[in-house]
Amino acid sequence: MKLIFERSVADRALTLLPECDVEKTVLPEGMARTQALRLPEVGECDISRHYTELAKCAHGVNDGFYPLGSCTMKYNPKVNEQAAALEGFTEIHPLQPQSTLQGALKALVLSEELLCEITGMDNMSFQPAAGAHGEFAGIMLIKAYHESRGDTKRTKIIVPDSAHGTNPASANMAGYTVVSIPSNEDGCVDIEKLKAAVGEDTAGLMLTNPNTVGVFDKNILEITKIVHEAGGLNYYDGANLNAIMGVVRPGDMGFDVIHLNLHKTFSTPHGGGGPGSGAVGCKSLLTPFLPLPRAIKNGDKYELLTESELSFGRMKEFYGNFLVVIKALTYVLTLGAEGIREAAQIAVLNANYMMHELADCYEMAYPGYCMHEFVMTLENTKKQYGVSAMDVAKSLIDHGIHPPTMYFPLIVHEALMVEPTETESKETLDEAVAALRDIAEMTVNNAEAVISAPHTTPISRPDEVMAARSPKLRYEF
Amino acid sequence: MNIPAELKFTRSHEWIKDLGNGEYEIGISDFAQHELGDLVFVNLPQEGDTITMEEPFADVESVKAVSDIYSPVTAVVKEINEEILDAPETINSGAYDAWFVRVENVTETAELLSAEEYEAFLNEEA
Amino acid sequence: MGSYIQSTKAQQQEMLQKIGCKSVEELFSNVPADMALQRPLDIPRGMSESSVMKYMQNMSEENTVFKTVLRGAGAYRHYIPAIVKSVVSKEEFVTAYTPYQAEMSQGILQSIFEYQTMICELTGMDVSNASVYDGASAAAEAVAMCSERKRSKAYISACSNPDVIETVKTYCKGNGMTVELIPENDGATDLDALAAMLGEGAACVYIPQPNYYGIFEDLTKAAEITHNAGAKLIAGCNPIALAMIKTPKECGADIAVGEGQPLGLPIAFGGPYLGFMASTTAMMRKLPGRIVGETVDHDGRRAYVLTLQAREQHIRREKASSNICSNQAHCALTAAVYMAAMGADGLYNVAEQSMSKAHYFAQKLSEIGYELAYTKPYFHEFVTVGVNNTAEALAKLEENGILGGLQLDDNRILWCVTEAVTKEELDKAAAILEEVGK
């Protein structure tokens, strides 16, 4: 594929702006850039075709099954997009008088109410722009809380070794030392190890439940109690909330603070890597520390709360990824109480169905019922046939299916983590099962074909070592 | 397996070579480079830094992993090997030529294994 | 109730049977009963698509959309070409995740590579990442990049957007760096004061270009002062202005960041926008976030991959200096399509028209008592003083469908004019203000 720079022809351009209708202002002496700005010189037809060609070499949920574990790639309803494209949302300035922003502020307050009820939290801020940003906000809440009490000896955050990499990274960004605790045999928190790890220096625990191996940790109340009794707070990573919405709430499991990935659980599209929205919710004891500004209801008016002595500060410009919140709000209103619960139930049913249908030809890392996702281990396949998790993943691409998450969680060797989500039909699941069974058979009969996959894509496997050793990060003219 | 007899080793797979003038070279073993796979980047300390026995003093990156390299001694870095900064693949092609740092003023030394002991240790681990 | 579940009840039963399970509830047997929700969620019943759309439409209409916007302060309404909206609404771009699987994501990866190239061209810097959340978090991440063992002080211009200053402070509360504000003098950063402030432990200096008041800063001098103290210079740039003014690289900056919203994104109540981030090659491995690189595939064909991943949280975990994972890829795509549509000349035209119209309007305002607060050269924003009934004046504009400048205090207003506003609209605004003043 040509780069857009390679389509460039000198002096080709679009006509987009009228002539300047006022006298031109001249830039002061010495201020002008001397380095030429080399942007593509292309026509509208060039641009349209270029990006259509790029789009053909991309794969979204719209193109096919996308069982990327831990990422909840459910279908993105179009009405959400339509709502977020309303002029009354896209064309309002963030610094307009609040009286002219009542709809936008109401949208934020309503989203907060609905999502707090779903998670069992008391308040929520939509300022964080993505999951990791929400994690950072959540840990900063914990930090602000301890500091407000003069409890400065709490310098450690406990994170299980099965956690997403963002958890320890977020704790580190907030200035905490990370204590990693090993998981037990069924992938859950090892209670004894946790007891040994907590103490006067414990600021908090970061956990997701169901955990990253797709199992609901039934000891969760005991776990959160251990941390509370040590004086720490419990942080819930909302990455896996899709499994339990309407069934059980993090707020009822003993969690004090939570982040949500609206771009996972609440169906907003991921856009090839963002924008997301990492709403941070908390129990009322942490509300005074939430980032500001925050939309609140005051009588029958909506307004922005801009000052609070205890707030830990601001996360970004303005109020967060507002249009993403609009999409999530549209989704929650569409599904309603019963639809939210049903989404979780069918997500879990779909995962268990796939797991069951594959159990005789793939080794499951944690047999038994799973929640919304399950983890397979290709460790023995690799030893026996030389076919790795990566090879199976690449082979799935030839079946038009986006591979599951590979090599995560780190506690499972040669892991493939499959999350079908609730929006996939039984036919789609059956096709994926058939594809995976096909690959399993090929692994035994013709391992080489699996190892050399994919065979149907615009490129074969790229040389990642070369990319990292001699980085070429821009087009050279 | 390639384990030069004149070197000493650690259980975390570093080697150390006595240059005879109070200076030592430190690198990683052939076993370590093989386990780590194609290396793409190396982070080294600066000249003049003090590195501490049994603590990380450098790290190496492959495409999908980053690993700490532990110092067998407490000492001062006299020189770093800029060649491996530019071409980390030389560690893969010759782990015992691709020293990371030359150190001096050694004040503390960890328990080290002879080549024979290291080989036995590797066999045990496998 | 709306639902996106496609399997029928009969299919669900069939699936349950295969699993060997009587009900879906049985699958949740690990959830202790005393903890599970024993009631329906207390949220409204689901709505049909038609009803929900009506509901959202009504909500959106409770906001006022101003026909004319003379307010910026971090969010700028420029003209967005039709091709931009068309391209970025392609479902393949909208509904993809981060391009982890290069073989089936070449389109996304190449679009990011092209974006990175455009940002390098715009800023003059050597390398760019795939974007971060917004201009403020980009500034905060840039500050964190400069932290070294013996250097942990960040100096931020008091002429920065207040949101940038606050965001940097939040991040620094976490990473232990200290923040000091460089004072303002006649609407610009006081560089003499900066020279006196910098000392041992200085990690970086952040200077906006143009600054919050629209004024062009002397970045070259700032770079010299900063580098003399052994610190790094971060330039926080308006990307439209960069089409005409000296690039951060030409001025000697080590890192260039900025709010990318003006590049084809709607103002949308503050987001989603994107933060662009570019640096010198020397700082490349400290850049946070996704970076796409060119390589070859097994058969020697040109290919693109996410690269330098060992910097990132999923590999470095608690040793990663940033936790960023999702960025603003789709917004970056929007910015890239905008830049392709505009081209260098078009972008220059946007900058020149914005600046020219701002100056035209400032002149009109000065004729009716709104004097420029500062004397220094400015881009498309400026501050006026001298009229006491500012609140009344702005309210009058609002009544006429014009969002006036941002009131900074009792008699200072921060105005912004972009190319999207016509001379006619400016004349109308001036006439209304003149009427109020009488």
Break chain A into its structural domains and give their ranges: 79-334, 337-451
CB contact under 8 A, A469 and B61: no
The DSSP bridge pattern shows strands A202-207 and A156-160 to be parallel
Q: What is the mean pLDDT of residues A384-404?
A: 97
Measured between its terminal Cα atoms, the distance across chain A in Å is: 16
Residues with Cβ within 8 Å of C10's Cβ and at least 6 positions away in sequence, in order, are none
What percent of chain A lies above the pLDDT cut of 70? Answer: 100
- For position C314, what pLDDT does the model report? 83
Residue tagged 């690198």 (tokens): B27
Phi and psi, residue B100, nearest 5°: -90, -55
Three-state DSSP at C228 gives helix
Three-state DSSP at C219 gives helix
Three-state DSSP at C432 gives helix
Residue closest to C24 by CA, chosen among A159, A243, B1, A237: A243
Residue in B with minimal Cα distance to A410: B65
CB contact under 8 A, C341 and A3: no
Distances (CA, A) of A41 to A38, A138, A242, C240, C344: 9, 45, 45, 17, 8
Find out whether C349 and A13 touch, Cβ atoms under 8 Å.
no
Using CB atoms, list chains with 3+ pairs below 8 Å to chain A.
Answer: B, C
Residues β-bridged to residue A295: A304
Domain A337-451 has CATH 3.90.1150.10: yes
Give the type of residue at B13: H
- Rg (Cα) of chain A, in Å, rounded? 25
Rounded Cα–Cα distance for residues A76 and A85 (Å)? 15
Distances (CA, A) of A299 to A116, A302, A303: 20, 8, 10
DSSP state at residue A26: P
C68-78+343-437 CATH pick, 3.40.50.2300, 3.30.300.10, 3.90.1150.10, 3.40.605.10: 3.90.1150.10
Domain A79-334 has CATH 3.40.640.10: yes
CA angle A287, C36, A253 (to 5 degrees): 40
Residues β-bridged to residue A415: A377
Which CATH number describes the domain made up of C82-337? 3.40.640.10
- For position C311, what pLDDT does the model report? 83
Give the type of residue at A273: G
Residues with Cβ within 8 Å of A39's Cβ and at least 6 positions away in sequence, in order, are C118, C121, C339, C340, C342, C343, C344, C347
Distance of CA C139 to the CA centre of its chain: 10
Distance of CA B108 to the CA centre of its chain: 16
Residue in A with minimal Cα distance to B84: A469
- For position B118, what pLDDT does the model report? 95
pTM of the shown model? 0.96
Rounded Cα–Cα distance for residues A420 and A214 (Å)? 12
Structure tokens that stand for C179 in this block: 């923040």
The reply to whether B88 touches chain A by the CB within 8 Å rule is: yes
Residue tagged 């210079």 (tokens): C233
Three-state DSSP at C417 gives coil
Q: What is the mean pLDDT of residues A49-71?
A: 96
Residue A27 confidence (pLDDT) above 90? yes
Rounded Cα–Cα distance for residues C325 and A408 (Å)? 15
Chain B interface test: which of A390, A407, A413, A465 (most B C-beta within 10 Å): A465
Rounded Cα–Cα distance for residues C274 and A81 (Å)? 19
Rounded Cα–Cα distance for residues C85 and A64 (Å)? 24
Find out whether A91 and C267 touch, Cβ atoms under 8 Å.
yes
Q: What is the mean pLDDT of residues A195-208?
A: 97
**Reported confidence tier of residue A332, pLDDT bands at 50, 70, 90:** very high
Smallest CA–CA separation between C309 and chain B, in Å?
7
Chain C interface test: which of B62, B63, B69 (most C C-beta within 10 Å): B63
Chain A interface test: which of C104, C127, C357, C428 (most A C-beta within 10 Å): C104
Burial class (CB in 10 A: 0-12, 13-18, 19+), A63: middle
Rounded Cα–Cα distance for residues A42 and A58 (Å)? 22
Residue in C with minimal Cα distance to A343: C5
Find out whether A186 and A215 touch, Cβ atoms under 8 Å.
yes
Residues with Cβ within 8 Å of B51's Cβ and at least 6 positions away in sequence, in order, are B45, B57, B71, B73, B74, B75, B76, B77, B101, B103
Domain ranges of chain B: 8-120
Q: CATH 3.90.1150.10: which residues of chain C?
A: 68-78+343-437
CB contact under 8 A, B66 and C285: no
Strands lying side by side in the sheet with A405-406: A374-377, A415-418, A405-406
CB contact under 8 A, C137 and A175: no
CATH class of B8-120: mainly beta
Find out whether A439 and A392 touch, Cβ atoms under 8 Å.
yes
Tens place of pLDDT for every residue, chain C, 438 residues? 678 999 999 999 999 999 999 999 999 999 999 999 999 999 999 999 999 999 999 999 999 999 999 999 999 999 999 999 999 999 999 999 999 999 999 999 999 999 999 999 999 999 999 999 999 999 999 999 999 989 999 999 999 999 999 999 999 999 999 999 999 999 999 999 999 999 999 999 999 999 999 999 999 999 999 999 999 999 999 999 999 999 999 999 999 999 999 999 999 999 999 999 999 999 999 999 999 999 999 999 999 999 998 888 888 888 888 999 989 999 999 999 999 999 999 999 999 999 999 999 999 999 999 999 999 999 999 999 987 788 999 999 999 999 999 999 988 999 999 999 999 999 999 999 999 887
CA angle C48, C54, C55 (to 5 degrees): 90
Which residues on C lie below 8 Å from B41 (Cβ)?
285, 308, 310
Residues with Cβ within 8 Å of C245's Cβ and at least 6 positions away in sequence, in order, are A27, A31, A32, A33, C209, C216, C379
The DSSP bridge pattern shows strands C127-128 and C275-279 to be antiparallel
Indicate the angle between helix axes A44-56 and C329-367, nearest 10 degrees: 150
Residue B72 confidence (pLDDT) above 70? yes
- For position C1, what pLDDT does the model report? 67
Residue closest to C302 by CA, chosen among A452, A459, A54, A472: A459
The reply to whether C408 touches chain A by the CB within 8 Å rule is: no
Rounded Cα–Cα distance for residues B88 and B60 (Å)? 9
- For position A271, what pLDDT does the model report? 95
The shortest CB-CB distance from C121 to any of A38, A60, A397 is to A38
Q: What is the mean pLDDT of residues A221-242?
A: 97
DSSP state at residue A210: S
Burial class (CB in 10 A: 0-12, 13-18, 19+), A309: exposed
Taking only residues 191 to 230 of chain A, the set having a beta carbon closer than 8 angstroms to any beta carbon of chain B reads none
- For position B64, what pLDDT does the model report? 81
Q: Where are the beta strands (DSSP E) in A210-290?
A: 233-237, 257-259, 280-282
